[in-house]
Amino acid sequence: MRKLTIRAAINEALRQEMRRDPNVYVIGEDVGIFGGCFGVTAGLIDEFGPERVVDTPITESAIVGNSLGAAATGLRPVAEIMFMDFVGVTMDQIFNQAAKMRYMFGGKAKIPMVIRMACGAGGSAAAQHSQSLEAWFMHVPGLKVVAPSTAYDAKGLLISSIRDDNPVIFVEHKFIYDIEGEVPEEIYTVPLGKADVKREGDDVTVVATMAMVYKALEAAEELAKEGISVEVVDPRTLQPLDNETIINSVKKTHKVVVVHEAVKFAGPGAEIAAMIAEEAFDYLDAPVKRVGAPFTPVPFSPVLEQAYIPSTEKIIAAIKEVVA
């Protein structure tokens, strides 16, 4: 099978859904002629024109406001927030309006909108361009939160998100855009709310998201040399969360490490750890261990930033702690 980068897989998902459904359009800063800050929307304006690939002023509130109104009246917008850090100025529209309109209108309104946003540290972009804030949105009833780690998942999950009749927050880690994976040419979907076991193992479960999936797989490879068998579970969708797949893995391994780049305190791993404690406590042979970023803004200094981002070595140390 051919290979695409995650960037190209997302582009293909957008292109195929725009061809299939004339109600789908893309909107955001520099998504048109420039092709997006990270090149994800490159070439779309050449095929679909400026009415369906809409360049906006630098005002995230206008991007989400346009999308919300359009979605409520039958279109299927895909809005791009250039950096996840900028989503704060749109929060009322997202959590008070988009997330609640279907509920407040008794199910008569549908809000089929996707908000794509790039997260993640690693390029010395400093405190206002490097955050992972997915836990904010997990907490809001009415929103779905998607966080792919592979090109295959990114394409299939984005197509599912565009077709969903609810608002979806689609989180893309900017430093895995160039990772390649096998991606079918045809249109396919990956269901929202279904996790994927990226590596099977028997001794410990590692639940990891986005870029941390690759570091968890590196840790598993290293620990296999020492006779420790690591199972890596990628939730793929953080809301709804696939409790069943995670719990089934815990029942097999009896030990768990949860890894994400977001700040450890009140991060996505806190909910996953609590869910495991509530639903699978009797299967645990050790406390659930979390690996996440420290409670500090993302540093600009490359040395400090690398210390901030959870590393393969930290994941290995956490696994050894629970296995011991």
Catalytic residues: 129
From the list 316, 324, 153, 321, the residue with the least C-alpha distance to 230 is: 316
Alpha carbon distance 140, 45 (integer Å): 33
User: Taking a C-beta distance cutoff of 8 angstroms, is the pair 114, 158 a contact?
Assistant: yes
What DSSP string describes 228-272? --EEEEE-SEEETT-HHHHHHHHHHHS-EEEEEEEESTTSHHHHH
Q: What is the 3-state secondary structure (H, E, C) of 121-162?
A: CCCCCCCCCCCCCHHHHHCCCCCEEECCCCHHHHHHHHHHHH
Residue 180 structure tokens: 């390649």
Number of Cβ atoms within 10 Å of the Cβ of 265: 13
Nearest-CA neighbor of 261 among 218, 288, 291?
291
Closest residue by Cα to residue 111 from 96, 127, 131, 89 = 96
Return phi, psi of residue 322, to 5°.
Answer: -75, -30
- Give the count of beta carbons closer than 10 Å to the beta carbon of residue 176: 22
